[in-house]
Structure 1
Protein backbone atom coordinates (compact mmCIF):
# COMPACT_ATOMS: atom_id res chain seq x y z
CA UNK A 1 0.00 0.00 0.00
CA UNK A 2 1.33 3.44 -0.91
CA UNK A 3 -0.26 5.69 1.69
CA UNK A 4 1.98 8.71 2.20
CA UNK A 5 -0.25 10.24 4.85
CA UNK A 6 0.23 7.29 7.20
CA UNK A 7 2.46 8.47 10.04
CA UNK A 8 5.72 6.58 10.09
CA UNK A 9 7.51 8.44 12.86
CA UNK A 10 4.33 9.01 14.91
CA UNK A 11 5.34 12.69 15.07
CA UNK A 12 3.69 15.26 12.87
CA UNK A 13 4.53 18.76 11.71
CA UNK A 14 2.43 21.54 10.23
CA UNK A 15 2.84 21.57 6.45
CA UNK A 16 1.91 25.25 6.25
CA UNK A 17 4.68 26.21 8.66
CA UNK A 18 7.12 24.12 6.62
CA UNK A 19 6.06 25.91 3.42
CA UNK A 20 6.36 29.35 5.01
CA UNK A 21 9.75 28.36 6.40
CA UNK A 22 10.83 27.30 2.90
CA UNK A 23 9.71 30.68 1.61
CA UNK A 24 11.90 32.50 4.14
CA UNK A 25 14.86 30.21 3.41
CA UNK A 26 14.42 30.89 -0.31
CA UNK A 27 14.16 34.63 0.29
CA UNK A 28 17.29 34.78 2.43
CA UNK A 29 19.20 32.51 0.04
CA UNK A 30 18.15 34.67 -2.93
CA UNK A 31 19.36 37.77 -1.10
CA UNK A 32 22.66 35.96 -0.53
CA UNK A 33 22.95 35.23 -4.26
CA UNK A 34 22.42 38.91 -5.07
CA UNK A 35 24.57 40.43 -2.31
CA UNK A 36 27.18 37.63 -1.93
CA UNK A 37 27.01 38.21 1.84
CA UNK A 38 28.24 34.87 3.18
CA UNK A 39 26.80 35.71 6.62
CA UNK A 40 23.34 34.91 5.20
CA UNK A 41 24.32 31.34 4.25
CA UNK A 42 25.96 30.82 7.62
CA UNK A 43 22.79 32.11 9.31
CA UNK A 44 20.75 29.57 7.30
CA UNK A 45 23.14 26.77 8.22
CA UNK A 46 22.89 27.73 11.90
CA UNK A 47 19.10 27.85 11.67
CA UNK A 48 18.93 24.41 10.01
CA UNK A 49 21.26 22.92 12.64
CA UNK A 50 19.12 24.44 15.39
CA UNK A 51 15.91 23.08 13.86
CA UNK A 52 17.24 19.60 13.07
CA UNK A 53 19.57 18.77 15.95
CA UNK A 54 18.53 20.98 18.85
CA UNK A 55 14.98 22.26 19.20
CA UNK A 56 12.95 23.83 16.42
CA UNK A 57 11.39 26.19 18.96
CA UNK A 58 14.76 28.00 19.10
CA UNK A 59 15.00 28.41 15.34
CA UNK A 60 14.47 32.04 14.33
CA UNK A 61 12.96 31.02 10.99
CA UNK A 62 10.60 28.55 12.68
CA UNK A 63 9.44 31.26 15.08
CA UNK A 64 8.96 33.68 12.17
CA UNK A 65 7.14 31.03 10.11
CA UNK A 66 4.85 30.08 13.00
CA UNK A 67 3.98 33.73 13.64
CA UNK A 68 3.40 34.34 9.92
CA UNK A 69 1.01 31.37 9.81
CA UNK A 70 -0.91 32.79 12.77
CA UNK A 71 -1.05 36.31 11.27
CA UNK A 72 -2.33 34.88 7.96
CA UNK A 73 -4.79 32.68 9.90
CA UNK A 74 -3.83 29.58 7.91
CA UNK A 75 -5.20 26.21 8.93
CA UNK A 76 -3.01 23.52 10.44
CA UNK A 77 -2.20 20.68 8.04
CA UNK A 78 -0.46 17.85 9.87
CA UNK A 79 1.99 15.66 7.94
CA UNK A 80 4.50 13.04 9.01
CA UNK A 81 7.63 14.67 10.44
CA UNK A 82 10.16 12.04 9.30
CA UNK A 83 10.14 12.95 5.57
CA UNK A 84 10.28 16.67 6.41
CA UNK A 85 13.25 16.07 8.71
CA UNK A 86 15.08 14.18 5.95
CA UNK A 87 14.31 17.03 3.55
CA UNK A 88 15.75 19.47 6.08
CA UNK A 89 18.88 17.34 6.32
CA UNK A 90 19.20 17.47 2.53
CA UNK A 91 18.77 21.24 2.71
CA UNK A 92 21.50 21.48 5.34
CA UNK A 93 23.86 19.34 3.25
CA UNK A 94 23.17 21.54 0.23
CA UNK A 95 23.77 24.74 2.23
CA UNK A 96 27.06 23.45 3.65
CA UNK A 97 28.14 22.31 0.19
CA UNK A 98 27.20 25.68 -1.28
CA UNK A 99 29.14 27.51 1.46
CA UNK A 100 32.23 25.39 0.77
CA UNK A 101 31.92 25.92 -2.99
CA UNK A 102 31.54 29.66 -2.41
CA UNK A 103 34.64 29.84 -0.19
CA UNK A 104 36.65 27.76 -2.69
CA UNK A 105 35.41 29.98 -5.54
CA UNK A 106 34.11 26.98 -7.54
CA UNK A 107 31.60 29.13 -9.37
CA UNK A 108 30.01 26.63 -11.75
CA UNK A 109 29.36 24.02 -9.05
CA UNK A 110 28.23 26.80 -6.70
CA UNK A 111 25.54 27.91 -9.14
CA UNK A 112 24.49 24.34 -10.00
CA UNK A 113 23.93 23.49 -6.32
CA UNK A 114 22.28 26.86 -5.73
CA UNK A 115 19.90 26.26 -8.65
CA UNK A 116 18.95 22.82 -7.37
CA UNK A 117 18.32 24.20 -3.88
CA UNK A 118 16.18 27.04 -5.22
CA UNK A 119 14.22 24.62 -7.44
CA UNK A 120 13.44 22.40 -4.43
CA UNK A 121 12.41 25.43 -2.38
CA UNK A 122 10.17 26.67 -5.20
CA UNK A 123 8.44 23.26 -5.47
CA UNK A 124 7.73 23.26 -1.73
CA UNK A 125 6.50 26.85 -1.56
CA UNK A 126 4.45 26.92 -4.76
CA UNK A 127 3.06 23.39 -4.93
CA UNK A 128 3.66 21.85 -1.48
CA UNK A 129 5.83 19.29 -3.29
CA UNK A 130 8.70 18.16 -1.10
CA UNK A 131 11.38 16.44 -3.17
CA UNK A 132 13.24 15.29 -0.05
CA UNK A 133 10.00 13.77 1.21
CA UNK A 134 9.56 11.89 -2.07
CA UNK A 135 13.08 10.47 -1.71
CA UNK A 136 12.17 9.41 1.82
CA UNK A 137 9.04 7.58 0.61
CA UNK A 138 10.96 5.83 -2.19
CA UNK A 139 13.60 4.75 0.32
CA UNK A 140 10.92 3.37 2.67
CA UNK A 141 9.27 1.40 -0.17
CA UNK A 142 12.52 -0.05 -1.46
CA UNK A 143 14.54 -0.70 1.69
CA UNK A 144 12.07 -1.12 4.55
Structure 2
Protein backbone atom coordinates (compact mmCIF):
# COMPACT_ATOMS: atom_id res chain seq x y z
CA UNK A 1 0.00 0.00 0.00
CA UNK A 2 1.19 3.48 -0.67
CA UNK A 3 1.45 6.05 2.10
CA UNK A 4 -1.68 7.98 1.06
CA UNK A 5 -3.81 4.80 1.17
CA UNK A 6 -2.50 3.96 4.63
CA UNK A 7 -3.22 7.51 5.82
CA UNK A 8 -6.75 7.36 4.32
CA UNK A 9 -7.53 4.07 6.06
CA UNK A 10 -6.11 5.38 9.31
CA UNK A 11 -8.34 8.47 9.12
CA UNK A 12 -11.49 6.55 8.12
CA UNK A 13 -11.51 3.68 10.60
CA UNK A 14 -12.77 3.65 14.15
CA UNK A 15 -10.43 2.95 17.04
CA UNK A 16 -12.96 1.51 19.44
CA UNK A 17 -11.73 0.42 22.85
CA UNK A 18 -11.80 -3.36 23.18
CA UNK A 19 -11.74 -5.58 26.26
CA UNK A 20 -13.05 -8.83 24.71
CA UNK A 21 -15.92 -9.04 27.20
CA UNK A 22 -19.29 -9.38 25.47
CA UNK A 23 -22.53 -7.71 26.52
CA UNK A 24 -26.01 -7.81 25.00
CA UNK A 25 -26.60 -4.91 22.61
CA UNK A 26 -30.38 -5.23 23.02
CA UNK A 27 -30.08 -4.60 26.73
CA UNK A 28 -27.84 -1.59 26.12
CA UNK A 29 -30.29 -0.14 23.62
CA UNK A 30 -33.15 -0.50 26.13
CA UNK A 31 -31.00 1.23 28.78
CA UNK A 32 -30.41 4.05 26.27
CA UNK A 33 -34.18 4.32 25.75
CA UNK A 34 -34.69 4.78 29.50
CA UNK A 35 -31.91 7.37 29.52
CA UNK A 36 -33.79 9.30 26.83
CA UNK A 37 -36.95 9.18 28.97
CA UNK A 38 -35.18 10.33 32.16
CA UNK A 39 -33.38 13.20 30.44
CA UNK A 40 -36.55 14.26 28.61
CA UNK A 41 -38.31 14.30 31.98
CA UNK A 42 -35.67 16.75 33.23
CA UNK A 43 -35.85 18.94 30.12
CA UNK A 44 -39.65 19.14 30.29
CA UNK A 45 -40.17 19.69 34.01
CA UNK A 46 -36.79 21.10 35.13
CA UNK A 47 -36.52 18.82 38.15
CA UNK A 48 -32.90 17.65 38.50
CA UNK A 49 -33.78 14.55 40.55
CA UNK A 50 -33.89 12.44 37.37
CA UNK A 51 -30.42 13.72 36.45
CA UNK A 52 -29.06 12.78 39.89
CA UNK A 53 -30.56 9.30 39.61
CA UNK A 54 -29.13 8.88 36.11
CA UNK A 55 -25.72 10.06 37.27
CA UNK A 56 -25.69 7.39 39.99
CA UNK A 57 -26.80 4.74 37.49
CA UNK A 58 -24.17 5.78 34.93
CA UNK A 59 -21.47 5.61 37.59
CA UNK A 60 -22.51 2.08 38.49
CA UNK A 61 -22.41 0.97 34.85
CA UNK A 62 -19.17 2.81 34.08
CA UNK A 63 -17.44 0.95 36.91
CA UNK A 64 -18.82 -2.47 35.87
CA UNK A 65 -21.40 -2.64 38.65
CA UNK A 66 -24.28 -3.49 36.30
CA UNK A 67 -25.71 -5.91 38.84
CA UNK A 68 -26.60 -2.86 40.98
CA UNK A 69 -27.72 -0.56 38.16
CA UNK A 70 -31.52 -0.12 38.25
CA UNK A 71 -31.62 0.68 34.52
CA UNK A 72 -29.55 -2.38 33.64
CA UNK A 73 -31.76 -4.59 35.80
CA UNK A 74 -35.00 -3.20 34.37
CA UNK A 75 -33.63 -3.37 30.82
CA UNK A 76 -32.66 -7.00 31.33
CA UNK A 77 -36.23 -7.76 32.38
CA UNK A 78 -37.63 -5.90 29.35
CA UNK A 79 -35.32 -7.78 26.96
CA UNK A 80 -36.32 -11.08 28.58
CA UNK A 81 -40.03 -10.22 28.45
CA UNK A 82 -39.75 -9.32 24.76
CA UNK A 83 -37.80 -12.56 24.12
CA UNK A 84 -35.12 -10.69 22.18
CA UNK A 85 -32.28 -12.86 20.96
CA UNK A 86 -28.95 -11.73 22.47
CA UNK A 87 -26.67 -9.67 20.23
CA UNK A 88 -23.18 -9.84 21.72
CA UNK A 89 -21.00 -6.74 21.34
CA UNK A 90 -17.78 -5.72 23.04
CA UNK A 91 -18.30 -4.04 26.40
CA UNK A 92 -15.46 -1.50 26.24
CA UNK A 93 -17.07 1.03 23.86
CA UNK A 94 -20.23 0.93 25.96
CA UNK A 95 -18.23 1.53 29.16
CA UNK A 96 -16.45 4.44 27.50
CA UNK A 97 -19.85 5.84 26.51
CA UNK A 98 -20.96 5.42 30.15
CA UNK A 99 -17.98 7.49 31.30
CA UNK A 100 -18.91 10.13 28.72
CA UNK A 101 -22.48 10.01 30.08
CA UNK A 102 -21.13 10.61 33.58
CA UNK A 103 -19.31 13.69 32.29
CA UNK A 104 -22.40 15.03 30.50
CA UNK A 105 -24.69 14.42 33.48
CA UNK A 106 -22.17 16.04 35.81
CA UNK A 107 -22.13 19.10 33.52
CA UNK A 108 -25.93 19.17 33.44
CA UNK A 109 -26.10 19.02 37.23
CA UNK A 110 -23.37 21.63 37.78
CA UNK A 111 -25.00 23.94 35.21
CA UNK A 112 -28.35 23.54 36.94
CA UNK A 113 -26.90 24.16 40.41
CA UNK A 114 -25.06 27.23 39.05
CA UNK A 115 -28.40 28.53 37.79
CA UNK A 116 -27.43 28.16 34.12
CA UNK A 117 -30.70 26.38 33.38
CA UNK A 118 -30.66 26.92 29.62
CA UNK A 119 -27.09 25.59 29.37
CA UNK A 120 -28.02 22.54 31.44
CA UNK A 121 -30.94 21.83 29.12
CA UNK A 122 -28.77 22.26 26.00
CA UNK A 123 -26.26 19.74 27.38
CA UNK A 124 -29.17 17.46 28.28
CA UNK A 125 -30.44 17.83 24.71
CA UNK A 126 -27.08 16.66 23.36
CA UNK A 127 -27.31 13.68 25.65
CA UNK A 128 -30.81 12.92 24.35
CA UNK A 129 -29.41 12.91 20.81
CA UNK A 130 -26.61 10.47 21.68
CA UNK A 131 -28.88 8.18 23.72
CA UNK A 132 -31.50 8.23 20.94
CA UNK A 133 -28.89 7.29 18.36
CA UNK A 134 -27.87 4.33 20.52
CA UNK A 135 -31.41 3.26 21.35
CA UNK A 136 -33.15 3.66 18.01
CA UNK A 137 -30.31 3.22 15.49
CA UNK A 138 -27.72 1.16 17.36
CA UNK A 139 -25.17 3.93 16.72
CA UNK A 140 -22.62 4.19 19.52
CA UNK A 141 -21.09 7.65 19.53
CA UNK A 142 -18.52 6.39 22.04
CA UNK A 143 -16.40 4.80 19.31
CA UNK A 144 -16.37 8.01 17.31
CA UNK A 145 -15.45 10.17 20.29
CA UNK A 146 -12.77 7.67 21.36
CA UNK A 147 -11.32 7.73 17.83
CA UNK A 148 -11.23 11.54 17.81
CA UNK A 149 -9.53 11.63 21.19
CA UNK A 150 -6.90 9.15 20.00
CA UNK A 151 -6.30 11.12 16.80
CA UNK A 152 -5.59 14.27 18.78
CA UNK A 153 -3.60 12.39 21.39
CA UNK A 154 -1.42 10.47 18.93
CA UNK A 155 -1.31 12.84 15.99
CA UNK A 156 1.59 12.87 13.57
CA UNK A 157 2.82 16.19 14.94
CA UNK A 158 5.12 14.41 17.36
CA UNK A 159 2.77 14.36 20.34
CA UNK A 160 3.03 10.94 21.92
Q: Would you say how many aligned residue pairs link Structure 1 and Structure 2?
A: 143
Tell me which structure has the larger Cα radius of gyration.
2
Gaps of 5+ in 1: none
Q: Which residue of 1 aligns with 2:110?
A: 100
1:9 aligned to 2:19? yes
Q: Could you tell me how far apart the structure 1 residues matched to 2:91 and 2:100 are?
A: 14
Q: Where do residues 60-139 of structure 1 align in structure 2 (5 Å cutoff)?
A: 60-137=70-147
Higher helix share: 1
Q: Could you tell me how far apart the structure 1 residues matched to 2:92 and 2:13 are?
A: 14
**Which secondary structure state, in structure 1, belongs to the residue aligned with residue 139 of structure 2?**
coil
Q: Which runs of 4+ in 1 moved over 3 A?
A: 1-4, 137-143
Q: Which residue of 1 aligns with 2:45?
A: 35
Deviations 1:53-98 (A, max 9, x none): 2511110100000000000111111111111110111011000100
Gaps of 5+ in 2: 1-8, 155-160
Once the two structures are TM-superposed, the CA of residue 112 in structure 1 deviates from its matched residue by 2.1
Normalised by the length of structure 2, the TM-score is 0.79
